Structure formats: C-alpha cells, structure tokens
Amino acid sequence: MSEQHATQAQGLPAASGISLKAEHYAQVLDRRPPVGFFEVHTENFFGAGGPPHAYLEEIAAHYPLSFHGVGLSLGSQDSLNETHLAAVARAIARYRPAMVSEHLAWSTVSGVFHNDLLPVPYTREALGIVIDNIKRFQDVIGRRVLIENPSTYLAFAESEMAEQDFIVEMADGAGCGLLLDINNIFVSASNLGFDAGQYLDAIPGELVGELHLAGHAVKQHGEATIRIDDHGAPVSDQVWALYEAAIAKFGVKPTLVEWDTNVPCLDTLLAEAALAEAILRQCDDARREAVHA
C-alpha cells in the first residue's frame, strides 16, 4: 500500500459502538442514541438503492461508520473474486466509512463459495497468500484496513506458528492493522487450551485499530466443553475481564459490541456499549492521572 493510501485512512472515535441492525434503523434515527459509531456488514450494502441505503445515508450523517466485510475470502489460495472486490470498493467509496475491516478466513475455493468463515492454517505458505490478498484489497480501495482474528475450535497439525505470531507477521507484511476480537481470543483459548493473556502480550499496541466484544454459547460434548462464537448473548464476565486487560495494555481503543443472532432490543445493545464505554473512560482517567502524578 502506498503512502498516499495510508494518509487517506481515517479512524473511529476512541469510544464504544454497536452493530447497526435493520430492526433498529427507525429507532436510531428517532432517538439518536449516545454511541460512538455504528458497524455494518459491507455485503449488506452492495445494492444500488432501496430502504437500507436510505436509512444508512441518514444515519451516516450523524454517526461514524465502520464497514466490516465477511466474504472477501482473504485466506483463499484462489485470487480474490474481482466482482466481489469491486462491489466492496463501490460501497466504501459511496459511504467513506471511518474504518474498513475484514476477517482472517477463507470461504471460496475453485470458484465455489461456502457461506462460512473457514480457518486458515498458520503456515508460511498461508501467510504469503493472506499478505498478497490483503495488499490487493488495500490497493483497490486505496486505504489501510484492519483484519480480525478468528474464533477457532480445532488446531491444524501442520501449523508452523502460534496464531498471535501469524497475525503480527501478517500485519507487518501487508501494512494493515488488527481488529482484535476479545471474545474470539477467549473462545479460542478456552477451546484449544492456550493462555489468552499471553496472546495479548504478543500483540504490539500500535497494530491494534479496533476491538470487538460479543457473547458466545457454551456447549457440552461428553466431557468436553466447547465455546461457540455465535454473537447471540451478552458479553460474558470472562470476556469483560479480558477486555479490561486489553485496554490496560493497548490503551483506549474504538470498541464494538456485536450481536448478530437472537438480536435483542436496542436498549440491550446500548447497555452493553455503556459497559464498554465505562471501562474505556476508567482507563483514560487512570492514564491521565498517571501523567499528572
């Protein structure tokens, strides 16, 4: 990515935000809730017009937007789907969101699309593929992006490095930033048995552009307890604790509360965002006191 591209990148406010859901469009415009920003899935705005665009254009006049893609398949050994990439670029050019992000995952192979975020093995070969795809993505849209760490349930036997080392090398190699999903780190650490705190310790703070929070489901399979990243419940106490550790390490960062299944009323989402905002403000106050001590 060129220096010109880097200078064009914008940023979200260092505050909490929530996912924008269609069932809340009218309430958001009527109430103008006190949140820092709204996030939408980029693919939901590929169309040329209609009510979704009418609502989003009005909401964008009052709030910063974060565009979060789910289908670019950055981990695929196939080259990026140019039709999909062009649609992403059009949506970004239309709304000029404050932040653009995508997932570390793949969903296409040999031209076949799988409606899922499938895991990437942490190998040198996969790292090169992901870096090349991110560079292509950034060159087309003309700006730096953030890439989100996955939630994982099984480890690849052929992986050559830990996930945290993979994403740091990915960001350094592609010139992108990181969207750290705190729930994903907790889910993966619980399922695979690694230390979530050590994961955070391996991430340079300057790479982190945004944090995500979400709820997860707990499933029992015989004697094994599996945590599923379903974005369908309040943020758990363990994830809140890990979030506090992340803010203590990285400082105040834009933080999104995701809720994609069993979507609750707007007030429930706003209450979760308020909890995140309180942690952000406490951290900011503590840092200010330390500077003036």
Q: Tell me whether residue 278 is exposed, middle or buried, using C-beta atoms within 10 angstroms of its C-beta: 0 to 12, 13 to 18, 19 or more.
A: exposed
Nearest to 216 by CA among 182, 244, 246: 182
Rounded Cα distance, 198 and 226, in Å: 21
| 3-state DSSP assignment of residue 107 | strand
CATH class held by domain 3-292: alpha beta
In the three-class reduction of DSSP (H, G, I as helix; E, B as strand; rest coil), residue 94 is classed as helix
Cβ-Cβ contacts under 8 Å for 264 (sequence gap 6 or more): none
CA dist 284 and 281 (Å) reads 5
Q: What's residue 156's pLDDT?
A: 92
Give the integer Cα–Cα distance in Å for 293 and 105: 45
Q: Which two tokens stand for residue 224?
A: 């094994």
Q: How many Cα atoms sit within 13 Å of 212 on the Cβ side?
A: 31
Portion of the chain with pLDDT greater than 70, in percent: 93
Average pLDDT value over all residues in the chain: 92
CA dist 258 and 20 (Å) reads 9
Nearest to 209 by CA among 56, 70, 98: 98
Note the pLDDT of residue 2. 33
Q: 3-state DSSP call for residue 257?
A: strand
Sign of CA dihedral 6, 7, 9, 11: positive
The domain spans of the chain are 3-292
Give the CA dihedral 38, 43, 45, 50, nearest 10 degrees: -130
**Amino acid sitting at position 240:** W
> pLDDT under 70 in the chain at which residues?
1-10, 108-110, 112-115, 293
pTM (2 decimals)? 0.92
Q: What is the pLDDT of residue 123?
A: 97
Task: Confirm if 241 and 234 have CB atoms less than 8 A apart.
Answer: no
Cα dihedral 11→31→57→134 (10° resolution): 30
Distance (Å, whole) CA 237 – CA 293: 32
The two structure tokens encoding residue 172: 């350094």
- How far apart are the C-alpha atoms of 214 and 151, rounded to whole Å? 12
Residue 8 pLDDT: 33
Q: Give pLDDT, residue 10.
A: 56
The pairing of strands 38-41 and 65-68 is parallel
